[in-house]
Structure 1
Amino acid sequence: MFKKKPTIKPLSPLKSSDRRRTADHIIADFALEVPPADADASPDDKAAAAAAATAGLTALRRSLLPENALSARFTTTAGPDLEHVSGTIYVGSHEGTGGHQRVLWVKIGDNLYPTVYTLWHNPNIVPLLYTPLAVVEKMQAGADLMTPGLQRGPPFPSKATKGAIVAIASLEAPTVPMVVGTCDIDVSALGKVQGTKGHAVSTVHWAGDELWSWSATSKPGSDPPLVIEGWDDDKQDGTGLAERTARMELDSEEGGVALDAQPSARSAAEEAQGLEGEAAPANHDFVDIVDDKELSTKEIDEAFKNAFLFGVRHHMDNNKDHPSYGLDFPLSQSHVMSQLVQPYLPTYTPARTASLQIKKSSWKNIRKFIKYLDKQSIVKSKDRDGHETVILDIDFKDRQIAQFVPYRLPKKETPTAASANGAPAATLTSESSVGQKLKLVSVLRPKEKLTPILQASNADPRGLYTPAELRQFLIAYAEAENLIDPKNKRLIRINPQIADALLGSSAADNAALTSGSMARDALAERIVSASSPFHAILRNDASIADTKPKAGSPPRIQITLETRSGNKTVSKVHGLEPYYIAPQPLADELRKTCAGSTSVDKLQGSSPKAPVMEVMVQGPQKEAILKALEKRGVNKNWVDVVDKTKGKKK
């Protein structure tokens, strides 16, 4: 159904009461078990049992529909006749996913369909059917499952009745649902599949369709885990989702469903560091579930020290033939930060990325951090020019470096561009915003007092129009009311409706009222100024009909140059999100382009609920930032540059 991109209206937060009501609707529809209170318990025990049942229900609701859930209406087409389909999507992020919001549920009519993201975090909420991998791949192109394709049965799950919502996994990965559909027949009643004909399951959604790939930040769809405990029939312990959820420690720092980490499934970043065959210790091992929380000062200090040790080890492992392992001493502060620290920080989640800033450590700056390493006898440093500390040498045989075991680094996403036929094409070098085409559209919504003028053209009084269209509406109204001056067609006679809608108390307006007419162009300016501005930022081939313009003038990206620590200049840029630009990949690119340290942090004064992120790079890097933005489709006319080093605006 979602092979083609649906039209999704703007998301809105889901009220707590609506979230609970929807979650309870899911629990009832899918007959999920909620732990009951013990009827035979003593009064005190009954209270404890009731509290446990309430906690279990709350945990179950959160697992099905997280507290950060949003909702929006959508429309799409389905079937060979392109039947119009509309409904509601529910968007949110499960714990352990780095805060990346995904479509979790789809409501069409009275049916709520889970997406694969929900199934990967909530085993056994729907019956699971199996078919060979080749069949799953065809279903991921939009095909339905035929009855002969059913495997691992009979018997089939008892809940797989006609009309039931089911999940489908491949025989090669039997614990990972990849397709969601509805049963066209009573699969549970099948006595055999060989020799049978007809459809068994109609496909609704699959990993790889437009719902799977949707993201508010243009982040590509998440790859499925290798193994999910709870879906494998051979490993079931007979407990349902509600009971497993109730047994979780609700105040624990770990959440979600644990995924088996396969030793062979090594990240690209890990292989690049030469870690094949090495097993990271438990205290540094990174699995798919990471707490998205602010770090303490002690944890930040430890992360920076480990990142430095990691950076040194990486150079030692990859430059064994070089006398100083590829490092050219003395090392400047910016080189230490950009080459030996920043690339090796464990920035798995947005909260960790915001926490892992040198200014939030106990040292507050890179200079004091280097002096700390000197006291630890890991490096030998020296003050230079009175305001910078450089590293003269590193003790590569130091015990802390020799015994350091590298940990798994965050995966760097490499989205792919789709070709005309939908097949993957060239891999982008940075992020999905690189190479995008942006179009800034400004439109106007007439105010209520302009309704008589618009009615002459049968125009929607609450519609959105360009200034040229409003001008045509004015001309059409003047022609319909016979207001055009026969001696000078550039003049329009003023009637009570025009006077009320377009004229004020200025001297020019009073003069026009006295003369009884006014220039057509001057009235056109009045009708534009009497309308409210709206804007839309269109990406690639999007049309304004596919989006909902936002009130107000178009947002501006702002680059600020300012001086810090007396004589050091830093460049900061914010306002990227409306232009589909992710701050962290931009910071990574600028760190390499400018050969200086970068950071991403919340813009001071921005809303905690919808924070605006700011990228900072060392040095006066206005031109480098403008070039990076241009690569992402941003016109320089949409950017403001504020140079505080000179106290003036350019």
Structure 2
Amino acid sequence: MFKKKPTIKALSPLRSSDRRKTADAIIADYQLSPPSLPDDATADEKAAATAAHTTLRASLLPENTQSARFTTTHGPDLKPVSGTLYVGSHNGSEPRILWVKIDEKMYPTVYTLWQTTCIVPLLHTHGVVVEKLQGGADLMTPGLANGPPFPEKATKGSVIAIASREKPTVPVVVGVCLVDVSGVKHVHGAKGAAVQTVHWMGDELWAYSTSGKGGKRPPEELDGWRDRNTNVNEGLTGIEHLDLEDEEEDGGVPLDETTRPEPRTPYNNHVEGEEATQKENGQADGKEFTISEIDEAFRNAFLYGIYHHKTTQKSELKFGLTFPISQSFVMSDLIQPFLPAFTPEEAAQLQIKKSSYKNLKKFIKSLDKQGVLKSKERDGHETTVVDIDFEDQTISDFKPYPIPKKETQASGNLGHGATAQATASTDAGDSSVGQKLRIITYHRPKEKLANIFSSASNASGGLYTSAEIRPIITSYIESENIVSLTNKRLVQLNPSLANAVFDGSSPLDKEVIAKGSVPRDALIDRIVASCSPFYAIVRNDASDAKTRSGGPPKIRITLETRSGNKKVTKISGLEAYFIPPQPLADELRKVCAGSTSVERLEGSSPRAPVMEIMVQGPQKDAVVKALEKRGVQRNWIETLDKTKGKKK
């Protein structure tokens, strides 16, 4: 169906309530819900069921899911087709189309089937047939392989996946059964189509990317698709390694103290290095954290962050910390690298929203009340740390505990630079991280300067750098023999120079014309200024950088106040610097501990959209650091602070 590229409107973030509703509809349509719990189910069983349901939701539609309407045509008569696309990513990977909705029916893409296995029946065919299917052909009944019998859920009208016999565990086609495949007894000699293809690896849904990258190649093998007759409700093994995305504060089913298991030993009771091997190998106990344990984990992580600075920067003033410290720095540099999260499941539980504090502002104020630090409200919105009592008994008595090895390495850097390392995992799949950029400015001589450049044996329509123009003008001066006899730094004006460069429109022009001479450097500067500007942004010393007219664009960071006193940070203009917006937004979401979204900038062309990232809170410093990691220099950034009405 998607052999032809569809017309896709701008993506917009999916509200948390809509995401949950849509995910629940998918779970119901595809019968993915586990068996109902008995009335006498224990609190632990209920808690486990709730957690499993939340995880399943997140695996089908991650929290970062965005949606967009699309239109296309299908079939020989070009029948109009419209619907909704759902784009998202798991574990910081490249955002892809995960689901497509047509006529109220949700179809998974191959990316969803590679991530979450066994949600639909899996049929098999021969490799040569797969090549035909990936051209848009339907699967004929004689093309069915590895059967009969076929999966019992492959009934007429059901959505199925198709894999080749060569790679039997990797679905590459999504379709709809035209007949009751489960009831087919013989394939040899049978006639007619068995499956209508809807989507396949290689079509325009597979190729779509918010960053312009091509489609992702399939894995070699997927353990989740164990057997073609696997029962769907028994085979949801593909979601085990997923991050459990946070639920929004306005929804979800919280687990109260009565539904949680017994508390575990507090982490700061561990001796340094104890159980580290077991934990680092991911052998977690699989239990749920209680709210008090989450509170304690955040408090201990903050103390660990201070301990780290005290032990690694003993000679620095304030142990390398610069006050006031923003909330985002407290989270990204003093807490996150030191949380005892050894598995994605533990990382999903250790979220500030799931603590009793609910947000970082209240957490900082609680430490203020305990005398560990001093905080101050800034602009009536953000709470900053203005001082830390490094001699406080709590800090002095702190003992380190095992933390994940990769986070320990990340926190090994000193000062504010730890932010980039601590979030290194968010850079996976972002090709702009570590790139080298440089801007080359060119000048194209205008028509009135043609005689000057043609006399120097150069094409007047060419592009020149400032360094290249100087010898051209020098050559012209010498060929015309217009160097002043009394002062070699002066150039005598001839009619060509006077008419092309000094038109007499300003007092300076009139003075130069009256004198009949001009300093050589001033003449060259004036000619350069008279040319039309061009630029090229060169990435990693590429030789095919595209030249564009005008001056180089700047990346704009805008701070605004919305909904009363809530501040947001917007970033636009990334495309010219080869920076995909979505991976950057995902990184900022973790670094700034706040929500992010990516939308088309209002007023930009739908054919060449300019995307805008919005980050919760005043996050200019974090954004600049992230851009510098991507090769952007600070003088290429323009900041507009609308919260104060001043341009910086």
TM-score of the aligned structures, taking structure 1 as reference length: 0.43
